Structure 1
Amino acid sequence: MTKYTAMFIIRPTLAEEGFKEIIADIFKIFTDHESNVLEVKEWGMKDLAYEIEDFKKGYYVLLKVEANSEAVAEYNRVCNISEDIIRYIIVKD
């Protein structure tokens, strides 16, 4: 399995429970595809460099994972269709 760093930004209008639920859903994507989540860092609410969908702030989350290609594809698919995630990226380490 390949090591990846994944980051996503959640829209700031959610309640604290909403942030935790989305993080758990993303975590589940990797665990369901037999991947290892090595580290989860919640950076919390930060100012964006520029407005995204009229938001000036976002809730940042960083993941370090060992994942297969199916898990990466599912992460990209879920983040792309989620209205609560305003930006996401995953890169090989």
Structure 2
Amino acid sequence: MALYEHVFLARQDLAQAQVDALAETATKIIEDNQGKVVKTESWGLRSLAYKIAKNRKAHYVMLEFDAPGDVVAELERQTQINEDIIRYMTIKVDALEAGPSVMMRKGDRDRERRRDRDDRGDRPERPRRDREEMETY
């Protein structure tokens, strides 16, 4: 069996529970065809680089799985039929990534940067001008 990564983008107007249900449907397709899902990650609602089917944002979900090649054909066929999924891509990989994916680590890194920025301390206050002083300018 081969290792694959399957990423799909779901419409922005779906609730997170509906997105999770789409991931469960994909997992069921894989497992019903003698495959095994190793990891499922939801990357959340993210902005798109350009509009796709009138959507400016989309819910991103990634599945890593180990399955025979015909499973990919069935998974992509079912994904194409589903109107809630606006884009998808499946790639064959040599090895699955251990731990969280790059997209998940990026979120952690951004949170650390915000925390470091907040720890810089308060800015010195600028002197405030009276209303009368402002009118003279």
TM-score range (shorter-chain normalised) is over 0.9
- 2:45 is equivalent to residue 45 of structure 1: yes
Runs of 4+ in 1 over 4 A off after TM superposition: none
Q: Which amino acid aligns with 2:12?
A: P
Higher relative contact order at CA 8 Å, sep ≥6: structure 1 or structure 2? Answer: 1
TM-score, with structure 2 as normaliser: 0.66
Q: How many residues align?
A: 93
Secondary structure of residue in 2 paired with 1:73: helix
CA distance in 2, matches of 1:65, 1:50: 29
Q: Which amino acid aligns with 1:21?
A: A
- Note the residue ranges of structure 1 that are not aligned, 5 or more in a row: none
Q: Higher strand fraction: Structure 1 or Structure 2? A: 1
TM-score, with structure 1 as normaliser: 0.95
CA distance in 2, matches of 1:54, 1:36: 34
Give 1:27 deviation, angstroms.
0.8
Q: Which stretch shifts more, 10-19 or 48-57?
A: 10-19
Q: Percent identity?
A: 35
CA-atom RMSD in angstroms: 0.8
Q: Highest Rg: 1 or 2?
A: 2
Aligned residue in 1 for 2:11 = 11
- Note the residue ranges of structure 2 that are not aligned, 5 or more in a row: 94-137
Give 1:10 deviation, angstroms.
0.5
Measured against aligned partners, the alpha-carbon deviations of 1:46-66 in whole angstroms (never above 9, x if no partner) come to 001111001000000011111
